[in-house]
């Protein structure tokens, strides 16, 4: 039975964050550090139900050096998708780093090897390329997991994933043998995970691990928003996972260690994008609703997510909400906040506002700066860390 009384995964921000943010220029992206720490601790506590299991952060969600260093100090590991992310992860001080990506070159493989990282290879082509340059060494496999229909949703990538090898492919085993590669790691990410799909993936990967005697680590990826829709159910799933792993270890006489690597569920809710209203068109003749244009850009910063939009002044009347569209400050026609991954524009409710008012675009703490582009040569927002009392200006990661 799921425990219904557990503390929720996420924490509310202090009112002080809004007060402190009122003092800085917009656009400003403010990270709530105590909130991040509280969620990390809760996830670490839940995951530790499974002996030896650990939490990593998917670096693709955040490249801000001080945030990464903060996570590294909490004994979180990192998963990287490029050598650029590897540089950031090492500078931040992460002790454990894993790597997977679809298109590494021999020089990338050499760079990972210099840092002692066993790369989780994504395809037969990548295995062959790697094997030609580094025969007889250890590798990980990113596997594609064909989830059963009952576990699929719009937010999952099972059999339809672009990434990963098919474990039953005979050619896969032939190319591993040809280059005398030793498989020591299994890695997967299937989009959003649920308690049910977690257990399915544990079972699936333990069957794979039984066939590869050198596998010591299984990385189950991220996607914790759906896993933690109810924390009590997530904890129940981790308990069941522990039973499955214990049984497997006893049967096979060896240890397997698990990793999780969420990005969004650790950071997204803890990023608050403060932005100022620059124009209001009360009734757009085509959209049939008000269009509020602000001093930051969805196209440049938030191409994916549907935020909740609040007034930056917590004392403002929160009942004064009405439908509308929030447009960004670029000259791209479709620059609207809340556009979904298919580019569909959707109106939503947010506070009544006029030019000069400040709004907060919530859920901006992950995949915002890492997705950012410079269309119209508009600079990204300044980033700040809120430590519970005051804001500190953070560094925005640049290309070397
Ligand atoms: C390999 C891998 N791991 C982890 C993640 C993190 O996913 P999320 O931010 O949904 O937790 C991703 C996201 O694309 C990924 O590709």
Q: Hey, where are the domains in the chain?
A: 48-263, 267-365+368-393
Ligand 1 pocket at CB < 6 A:
58, 60-61, 79, 100, 189, 221-224, 261-265
Rounded to whole angstroms, how far apart are CA atoms 203 and 282? 55
Residues forming a β-bridge with 286:
none
What is the predicted pLDDT for the residue at 3? 59
pLDDT at 257: 98
Q: What is the mean pLDDT of residues 222-232?
A: 97
Give per-residue pLDDT as tens, 86-110: 999 999 999 999 999 999 999 999 9
Q: What does the block give as tokens for 51?
A: 């002996």
Mutate to test the pocket of ligand 1, among 9, 58, 192, 303 (most ligand atoms within 8 A of CB): 58
Of 38-42, 145-149, 260-264, 317-321, give the lowest mean pLDDT range.
317-321
| This prediction's pTM | 0.96
The pLDDT value recorded for residue 340 is: 79
Among residues 320, 193, 308, 211, which one has the least CA distance to residue 260? 193
CA 156 – ligand 1 centroid, Å = 11
What is the residue-wise DSSP string for 207-230? HHHHH-TT--EEE----HHHHTSS
Asked if pLDDT for residue 319 goes beyond 70, the answer is no
Q: Rounded distance, CA 127 to CA 181, Å?
A: 9
What does the block give as tokens for 294?
A: 């602000």
Ligand 1: which residue has its CA nearest to atom 10? 223
CA triplet 91, 95, 100: central angle to 5 degrees? 85
pLDDT per residue as tens digits for the range 110-147: 999 999 999 999 999 999 999 999 999 999 999 999 99
Helices of type H across the chain: 15-21, 33-47, 65-73, 83-92, 106-114, 124-133, 170-178, 195-211, 224-227, 231-252, 264-267, 298-301
Residue 278 scores a pLDDT above 90: yes
Reported as a single tens digit per residue, the pLDDT across 359-369 is: 999 999 999 99
Ligand 1 centroid from CA 262, angstroms? 6
The residues pairing with 291 across neighbouring beta strands, listed in sequence order, are 281, 325
| CATH code for residues 267-365+368-393 | 2.40.37.10
Considering only 69-73, 160-164, 248-252, 336-340, which range has the smallest mean pLDDT?
336-340
Question: In the structure, what pLDDT confidence band is assigned to residue 1 with cuts at 50, 70 and 90?
Answer: low
Mean pLDDT on 311-328: 86
pLDDT confidence band for 305 (50 / 70 / 90): confident
Ligand 1: residue of 260, 261, 367 to mutate (most ligand atoms within 8 A of CB) is 261
- What mean pLDDT, rounded, does the chain reach? 95
Residue 394 has pLDDT above 70, yes or no: yes
Name the fold adopted by 48-263: TIM Barrel (3.20.20)
């Amino acid at each position: 039975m799921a425990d219904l009384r557990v503390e929720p995964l996420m924490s509310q921000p202090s009112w002080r964050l809004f007060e402190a943010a009122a003092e800085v220029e917009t656009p400003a992206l403010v990270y709530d550090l105590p909130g991040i720490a509280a969620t990390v601790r809760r996830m670490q506590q839940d995951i530790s139900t499974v002996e030896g299991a650990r939490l990593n952060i998917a670096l693709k969600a955040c490249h801000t050096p001080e945030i990464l260093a903060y996570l590294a100090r909490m004994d979180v590991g990192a998963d990287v998708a490029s050598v650029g992310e590897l540089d950031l992860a090492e500078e931040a001080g992460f002790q454990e780093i894993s790597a997977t990506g679809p298109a590494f070159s021999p020089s990338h493989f050499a760079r990972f090897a210099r840092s002692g990282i066993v790369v989780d290879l994504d395809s037969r082509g990548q295995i062959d390329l790697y094997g030609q340059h580094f025969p007889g060494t250890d590798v990980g496999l990113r596997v594609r997991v064909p989830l059963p229909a009952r576990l699929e949703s719009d937010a999952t990538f099972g059999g339809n994933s672009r990434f990963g090898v098919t474990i039953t492919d005979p050619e896969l085993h032939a190319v591993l043998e040809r280059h005398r590669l030793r498989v020591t790691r299994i890695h997967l990410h299937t989009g959003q995970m649920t308690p049910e799909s977690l257990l399915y993936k544990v079972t699936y990967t333990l069957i794979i691990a039984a066939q590869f005697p050198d596998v010591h680590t299984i990385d189950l990826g991220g996607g914790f928003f759906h896993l933690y829709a109810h924390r009590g159910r997530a904890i129940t799933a981790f308990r069941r996972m522990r039973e499955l792993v214990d049984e497997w270890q006893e049967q096979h006489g060896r240890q397997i260690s698990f990793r999780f690597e969420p990005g969004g569920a650790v950071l997204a809710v803890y990023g608050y994008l403060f932005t100022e209203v620059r124009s209001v068109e009360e009734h757009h003749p085509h959209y049939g609703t008000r269009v509020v244009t602000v001093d930051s850009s969805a196209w440049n910063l938030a191409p994916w997510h549907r935020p909740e939009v609040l007034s930056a002044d917590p004392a403002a009347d929160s009942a004064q909400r009405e439908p509308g569209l929030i447009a960004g400050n670029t000259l791209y026609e479709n620059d609207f906040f809340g556009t979904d991954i298919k580019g569909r524009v959707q109106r939503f409710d947010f506070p009544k506002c006029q030019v000069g008012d400040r709004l907060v675009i919530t859920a901006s703490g992950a995949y915002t700066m890492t997705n950012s582009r410079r269309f119209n040569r508009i600079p990204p927002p300044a980033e700040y860390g809120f430590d519970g009392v005051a804001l500190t200006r953070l560094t925005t990661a640049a290309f070397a």
